[in-house]
Structure 1
């Protein structure tokens, strides 16, 4: 009988025997493992894509929002972007804890339905109905905060599911695949938005949907995913009949690391763990520069380089850091697992690619202010996305390595601190842009409201350049953090040792 994941854990000697009991007897030598775990990975990757589609699309809607809400510039949207990042940060650990206690299936279904509803509601802000306007900038801030509450639980619970379904030597690949899918969809979102909302100028195709209807369509996708996931998924492989004994034995390579989560979490010991805090600060630095890609980047390319909303080339530029990041995620996940299999050194296998990736981000962000054309800027910012995301497989695999039965909580903590960094970056970036625009207004002796679009773009440019230098400085700190992270030191060192 499979032990209920909600019951208190048995002592290590008993708990570690549970996987063996679930797969009583050794599998026949000729039996090949089934590959059911890769269907789990497909569900996780699909959810990751929906997550980024719903998250990134608002950056493509900036121009429409600025016009419909009567805003002065993209800097006025900083509170909208910030509300999502703040809520995403605050609710990471609570939803990660829920996944450890109740299992990822129930938690994921609830949160996906939640954020899908607020994705659809976002499309209603500013609508004129019977002489009334639905919502305002303030309402949009609230809606995006509630949207962020829902999305906060996605990756901690995906991590919990992968922890249950994958052996440690495949976790880097699994996490790399999940994040590759996310980044790929994020990179494709500007192109999807262009096709649906603006049409494609080079092909002469007309728009298919209003921007509001596009938000409604994206909301429906999450509901479809929930229906299929509820029908097929099980929290643990022992409960899935299509998993044979050979695959179960493979998944349970490190039996001590596959124990179920539980309610009794030693918060004090977790939150005073130095390794965990260094991991969190590293991810703060990772998210600080990354949030530029899904907030200010599309508008920056339109105002500073004249990229048109219906330009196919422009949609590629806008999504560059994310689709290049997709390549980085997959490559980084493969490399960290390959290194560990070859050398047996998990500590260096996680750390090496983190140090390299963040160090290269410093170089790329310093090149951004020097880019003379949209293409060269696209190249610099996309390489920054690539090198940052080459660390993603290692980052999330470390959460499983050091978290073990607390994997979702550790992942939630890392992502919480990281997205708090994103919320800080959004506000700092916005305030720097505000200050730059105000200085330019004073220099021209023209009120901001009376400035032309060209004058506003000129005023914002210095602020953008200052922000790129700040992003580079933050990645220096991230590089230092990677040198200190140790994937072989669990947050609960008295738990059974890992198999490697």
Structure 2
């Protein structure tokens, strides 16, 4: 049996990694950009949030387009769009054009994660989706880690943050061509899926559909709004991103202004912190699938792993507040990212709740909720830092986001399909409605 599905998810890991290199490049170069444009902490927060406003607004439209036209087309268009916008941000003559370019990156990147969720449903079996979800989502901490080294290295090599942004944009557009050649919407369309792999996936998907009595038709987003698990999925991702995007956007500046790190030290510290997140995410996905393969109940596995991870995240962030030394801060933030990224398992949830038919739009809805934190958090932290002159209350803001995440991951039912079933009206699904 060929393993085309796993090679394709390896490419998705690379795409998401580059995605986060590009979106995190602003944070890494922020000390230099602030000096060039002479902007305050409050305006810095607004600039950091420009990406997330546009990214969040486009999530549900992107998810709908993916369900309608397939992920392959949307991924290629996204790569060309965000690569071009990243290059444009390197040419920005003022803060207004920079904010516009960041918003354009957000619009273009919007389809990537929902498309990955759709491919998770189409190419993987139920017992493989935990690994698939975390391989996909692990690009976020890996890109954040590699981005710190890559962008600081490019800045040092070229002597300018502008050339670094231009180079990153060109690489992204090249990857768009590769993605078009290597990705297909379904296994039967992929020329490198051999008969044994196709038969394995077709049989597994047929058994899954029969078990869940799937209608094989899209229900649309409105159908899911009445279910507790839908809102738990959204709130869990909102809390998760409140922590992750807070550290991604303000972490480098925190290390520079409060710990006295220079540009090179910021790059390596970012690599250690977010690299820990990458390792944690891969381990979390493997652990979840292994436990499910051994016969443990899906809800027991997911709630135990993600609940434990949430507690570790909250305690680690409290530790950063109580132990302000630079070495302790790096160590504790590494622990926070290691366990936080276990919640990348959430990218298997759209397929669990909506099946192959609605995974795209549910992934878009989940990512919309998460990116509410994306645009609120940078602004909120900017105003907190500007008003208090320190980062203590900003860190406590992250603690609150971690608590929301932990409650939500425990409330979600990971075993109940919410899609309409054959022979049963959509309004009578038992046990999970709000």
TM over 0.5: yes
Residue 407 (1) aligns with residue 375 (2): no
Task: Decide whether the 8 Å contact of 1:183 with 1:322 is kept in 2.
Answer: yes
What residue is the counterpart of 1:285 in the other structure? Answer: 239
Residue 368 (1) aligns with residue 341 (2): no
Task: Decide whether the 8 Å contact of 2:219 with 2:420 is kept in 1.
Answer: no
Shift in Å at residue 267 of structure 1? 3.2
Shift in Å at residue 493 of structure 1? 4.2
Choose from 286, 307, 311 the match for 2:261. 307
2:396 match: secondary structure:
helix
Deviation string, structure 1 residues 234-288 (Cα, Å, up to 9, x no partner): 21111223322221122231326579987x6433212222211111011111011
Shift in Å at residue 496 of structure 1? 9.2
Residue 481 (1) aligns with residue 408 (2): yes
| Whole-angstrom CA distance in 2 between matches of 1:261 and 1:217 | 44
Choose from 37, 40, 47 the match for 2:15. 47
| Whole-angstrom CA distance in 1 between matches of 2:274 and 2:354 | 28
What residue is the counterpart of 2:167 in the other structure? Answer: 217
For the pair shown, which has the larger CA radius of gyration, 1 or 2? 1
| Whole-angstrom CA distance in 1 between matches of 2:306 and 2:284 | 9
Shift in Å at residue 233 of structure 1? 2.5
| Whole-angstrom CA distance in 1 between matches of 2:222 and 2:392 | 42
- Report matched runs for 1:29-40 at 5 Å: 33-40=1-8
Deviation string, structure 1 residues 91-149 (Cα, Å, up to 9, x no partner): 111101111111101111111111111101110113xxxxxxxxx22222222112111
Alignment coverage as a number of residue pairs: 418
- Report matched runs for 1:216-295 at 5 Å: 216-252=166-202, 253-255=204-206, 265-295=219-249
| Whole-angstrom CA distance in 2 between matches of 1:185 and 1:143 | 20
| Whole-angstrom CA distance in 2 between matches of 1:407 and 1:387 | 25
Closer/same/farther in 2, CA of residues 470 and 231 from structure 1, 3 Å limit = closer
1:293 match: secondary structure:
helix
What residue is the counterpart of 1:491 in the other structure? Answer: 418
Task: Decide whether the 8 Å contact of 2:221 with 2:362 is kept in 1.
Answer: no
- Report matched runs for 1:40-79 at 5 Å: 40-72=8-40, 74-79=41-46
The ranges of structure 1 where at least 4 consecutive aligned residues each deviate by more than 4 angstroms after the TM superposition are 256-262
| Whole-angstrom CA distance in 1 between matches of 2:182 and 2:96 | 40
Task: Decide whether the 8 Å contact of 1:187 with 1:320 is kept in 2.
Answer: yes
Choose from 381, 387, 396 the match for 2:333. 381
Closer/same/farther in 2, CA of residues 117 and 363 from structure 1, 3 Å limit = same
What residue is the counterpart of 1:174 in the other structure? Answer: 132
| Whole-angstrom CA distance in 2 between matches of 1:411 and 1:322 | 23
Query: Which runs of 5 or more residues in structure 1 are unaligned?
Result: 1-32, 127-135, 199-206, 437-459
| Whole-angstrom CA distance in 1 between matches of 2:216 and 2:399 | 38
2:416 match: secondary structure:
coil
What residue is the counterpart of 1:121 in the other structure? Answer: 88
| Whole-angstrom CA distance in 2 between matches of 1:230 and 1:121 | 23
Closer/same/farther in 2, CA of residues 260 and 94 from structure 1, 3 Å limit = farther
Deviation string, structure 1 residues 192-231 (Cα, Å, up to 9, x no partner): 1222213xxxxxxxx3352111111111111111112222
Query: Which runs of 5 or more residues in structure 2 are unaligned?
Result: 425-434
Task: Decide whether the 8 Å contact of 1:53 with 1:185 is kept in 2.
Answer: yes
| Whole-angstrom CA distance in 2 between matches of 1:309 and 1:108 | 33
Choose from 420, 425, 443 the match for 2:372. 420
- Report matched runs for 1:200-215 at 5 Å: 207-215=157-165
Closer/same/farther in 2, CA of residues 333 and 309 from structure 1, 3 Å limit = same
| Whole-angstrom CA distance in 2 between matches of 1:83 and 1:496 | 46
What residue is the counterpart of 1:398 in the other structure? Answer: 349
Shift in Å at residue 473 of structure 1? 2.2
Closer/same/farther in 2, CA of residues 276 and 231 from structure 1, 3 Å limit = same
User: Which is worse superposed, 61-70 or 238-247?
Assistant: 238-247
Closer/same/farther in 2, CA of residues 169 and 62 from structure 1, 3 Å limit = same
Task: Decide whether the 8 Å contact of 2:29 with 2:152 is kept in 1.
Answer: no
Task: Decide whether the 8 Å contact of 1:317 with 1:375 is kept in 2.
Answer: no
Task: Decide whether the 8 Å contact of 1:301 with 1:318 is kept in 2.
Answer: no
Task: Decide whether the 8 Å contact of 1:159 with 1:407 is kept in 2.
Answer: yes
- Report matched runs for 1:303-382 at 5 Å: 303-311=257-265, 314-382=266-334
| Whole-angstrom CA distance in 2 between matches of 1:477 and 1:410 | 20
User: Which is worse superposed, 397-406 or 181-190?
Assistant: 181-190
What residue is the counterpart of 1:95 in the other structure? Answer: 62
What residue is the counterpart of 1:431 in the other structure? Answer: 383
**Which structure is richer in relative contact order (CA contacts within 8 A, separation 6 or more)?**
2
Deviation string, structure 1 residues 167-195 (Cα, Å, up to 9, x no partner): 12111111211222331121121111222
| Whole-angstrom CA distance in 1 between matches of 2:205 and 2:380 | 44
